[in-house]
Structure 1
Amino acid sequence: MTTRRTLLGAGLATPFILSSMAHAQGSSQTGGEAYPNQPIRLVCPYPPGATSDNVTRVMARALSARLGQTVVVDNRAGAGGAVGTRHVADSRADGYTLLTASGGNLLISPYLSDVGYDPLRSLAPVAMAGEAYSLVGISAALPVKTLPELIAYAKQHQGELNYASSGIGSTGHLRGALLAEAAGFEAVHIPFPGSAAAVNSVLAGDCQILIDPVVAPHVQGGKIRPLAVVGTGRWEDFPDVPNVTELGIGQEWPSSGWYSLFAPAGVPQSVIARLNAAYNDALADPEIALALRRLGLKPEPVEPGQLRQRLAREYAASGVTLQRLRITA
């Protein structure tokens, strides 16, 4: 039997029920105010010690402070960054599994093998940590002090020099091949499982050349000699080192390099916006910006749409370059 008390109770409960339903619907469809309500995994597709790993750890701490949730770094290396990238692409599109991406795993690896993801469709651009600089570094035992001297030496010793990289399909692999092509010499590519192993090979004298930001501290320590900077303009930490473009090389190279944040395709736009705002806010923090600059980055806040356009443009350019250089896995 329906009583006056039953009707009164139902009437009082109705606004609460409707409000709860609306909140649940908003959270499930857009990420809403509930995001984030659990720890976030930030995947680095390269091993510890690589520049990608260092950038990931800096930004994980920055995001944790701004999102109010722990951001855990998850290193999933392998196949030139493809293993970790595919893991994120295949993850649930809820914003709790994210990726630190760079040129190697998005612009190069997909052309060299069946990586299991499409960089333009399987991932959602979120934010950019910044433009990345690299140094053309050489073994201190090599009897050259400038890039023109290296080119002349390499031409006199065709095929005798080794250039290291963080793996087949890495940015360092492509840049080494581009340098050899532009300068007209032959060198042997030696891939390693990550930048840390690659720089150790140069320190040991097994390889003579490495184009990577990871050489920077070894340059400052006098163990590796810097010949040129790859990136936009000069690297402020090495103001006396010329850019390769000043030496007539690299103007047509497909990408200056960058590190960015991506999510699985299909993540709600409200979540993308929340992450982008937190990431860009971190870049405005002087301490975080300084930490990134020390890693060879020039912090650059961008919107997701800008990053999507840049990815599409540079992905197409990388494909043309790889075909011309006949680089294969």
Structure 2
Amino acid sequence: MTSFDTTRRGFLTAASLLSTTALLGFPAFAQDYPSKKIDYVVPYNAGGMSDNISRLIGEKLAAATGQQVINDYKPGAGGAIGANYFMSTPADGYTLLQSTNSFYGIIPLVTKVQYKPLEDLVPLVLVGDAPMVIAVNPAVPATNLAELIAYAKANPGALSFGTAGKGTVGHLSGEWLQKRAGIELLHIPYNGTPAALQAVLANEAQILFGPESAEHIAAGTLKGIAVLGDTRWQQLPNLPTTVEAGIEGWAPRSWHTVSIQAKAPEEVKTKLNALINKILEEPAVRERVASFGLIPGIASYDEVQQRARDDNEQFGALIRDAGLAIAN
């Protein structure tokens, strides 16, 4: 056999394999992915919620694929620095972004960023929801949402809510409650959530939105009113949701995801959705996610994208109404 015959036979075999792969509907790129290390951008400092999630998912993803998953920390500007850096990397699926729905519904509307949230960035999975609990100081004469709304209507501007700052999910939760309930509250931004929590404990502010109040509700130093949305939190199982309390529809929420650039190959997106969802279905992983203070979640690729679209629309309306929107 000549060298030409050997080369020709090799070429035909390769062509046949590629043709069969295409006919079966499995792109060769997806079959090979990942074939090298994956960089995992964390847009916050080490030690926080995003770091905990990225370490958990990264370790499991590395075990499932046989490839290294390396955290790359890019903190600053509420996550915008990390997002901008992420968008400067190749859109080949080998760089992921640990993110929240804020990267789709809040950050691009209140901070200068170098991406369009629904065009350049895609959420892959639903890791879990951070329950937005409404908690009040015990001095507030209300034990449920109806009583809180009634008191606020009778005393317009008498109640204040403390938050980690303007444009945060906590701030927008207060704006949402005022709009949906027809009440007037005073917003007091603090330097971070711990300061806001301490202010509500001291009755400097009366209302707090977020999961940080859970242990204080359990101890009786704060009163739990409701959980925003339609899903109860197992850590406070007796606390009703705002939907149960009569405010139906979308409510402000904070959920964690893993994002990829929109220009990455579609087959890589769907493969990553399946891989990470399989990880998130493991009982031990769900326990870890719950231990982070989240409500573990599973969502299809289409479902998690719809979540991002909904939050972009709903948070966008709240941000514009509050006069917080900037032109990017």
TM-score (norm 2): 0.78
Name which of structure 1's ranges 12-21 and 292-301 shifts more when overlaid on structure 2.
Answer: 12-21
Secondary structure of 2:113 counterpart: coil
SS at match of 2:263: coil
Matching of residue 8 in structure 1 with residue 7 in structure 2: no
Q: How does 1:299-314 map to 2 (within 5 A)?
A: 299-314=296-311
Distance 1:155 1:36, change over 3 A: farther
Contact 1:128 / 1:302 at 8 angstroms: preserved in 2?
yes
Residues 196 and 78 (structure 1), Cα distance of their counterparts in 2 relative to 1, 3 Å cut: farther
Shift of 1:262: 1.3
CA 1:252–1:15: 2 relative to 1, 3 Å: same
Q: 1:304 to 1:247 in 2, by over 3 A?
A: closer
Distance 2:77 2:154 in 1: 32
CA RMSD in angstroms comes to 3.6
Structure 2 counterparts to residues 271-290 of structure 1, below 5 A: 271-290=268-287
Tell me the number of residue pairs that the alignment of Structure 1 and Structure 2 aligns.
316
Structure 1 match to 2:187: 188
Counterpart residue number, 2:160: 161
CA gap of 1:17–1:59, structure 2 versus 1, over 3 A, is: same
Note the C-alpha offset of 1:319: 2.0
Residues 104-183 of structure 1 aligned to structure 2 (within 5 Å)? 104-138=102-136, 142=139, 146-148=143-145, 152=151, 156=155, 158=157, 161-165=160-164, 167-181=165-179, 182=181
Distance 1:311 1:219, change over 3 A: same
Cα 1:241–1:92, aligned 2, differ >3 Å: closer, same or farther?
same
Secondary structure of residue in 1 paired with 2:2: helix
Report the counterpart of residue 44 of structure 1 in structure 2.
42
Partner of 1:259: 256
1:187–1:52 distance in 2 versus 1, CA, 3 Å = farther
Which letter maps to 1:189?
I
- The separation in 1 between residues aligned to 2:203 and 2:47, in whole angstroms, is 20
The equivalent residue for 1:57 is 55
Change (3 A) 1:10 1:283: same
| Percentage identity across paired residues of the two chains | 29
Q: Aligned partners of 2:87, 2:288: CA distance in 1, in Å?
A: 28
Structure 2 alignment gaps of length 5 or more:
22-26
Residues 199, 48 of structure 1: alpha-carbon distance in 2 compared, 3 angstrom cutoff: farther
- Counterparts in 2 of 1:23-38, with a 5 A limit? 31-38=29-36
The whole-number CA distance in structure 2 between the counterparts of 1:169 and 1:153 is 23
1:230 deviates by 1.6
The one of 316, 319, 326 aligned to 2:316: 319
* Superposition deviation, residue 161 in structure 1: 3.1
Q: Which residue of 2 aligns with 1:246?
A: 244
Q: Secondary structure at the match of 1:233?
A: coil
For residues 66 and 138 of structure 1, the distance between their equivalents in structure 2, rounded to whole angstroms, comes to 44
For residues 112 and 47 of structure 1, the distance between their equivalents in structure 2, rounded to whole angstroms, comes to 21
Structure 1, unaligned runs of 5 or more: 1-6
Cα deviation, residue 122, structure 1: 0.9
Deviation at 1:207, TM superposition (A): 5.1
Shift of 1:288: 1.0
Deviates more, 1:39-48 or 1:315-324: 39-48
Q: Deviations over 1:19-38 (max 9, x none)?
A: 789999x9xx9644443233
Change in CA separation of 1:133 and 1:87 when aligned onto 2, cut-off 3 Å: same
Contact conserved, 2:162 with 2:196, CA < 8 A, in 1?
A: no
CA distance in 1, matches of 2:87, 2:259: 9
For 1:199 and 1:231, locate their aligned partners in 2 and report how far apart those are by CA, in whole Å. 21
C-alpha distance in structure 1 between counterparts of 2:194 and 2:178, whole Å? 23
Taking a change above 3 Å as real, the CA distance of residues 162 and 230 of structure 1, as seen in their structure-2 partners, is closer
Of the three residues 214, 217, 228, the one matched with 1:216 is 214
In structure 1, distance between residues paired with 2:74 and 2:29: 26
Partner Cα distance (1:48, 1:133) in 2:
22
Corresponding residue SS for 2:305: helix
CA distance in structure 2 between the partners assigned to 1:169 and 1:30 by the alignment? 44
TM-score (norm 1): 0.78
- The DSSP-based 3-state class of the residue aligned with 2:311 is helix
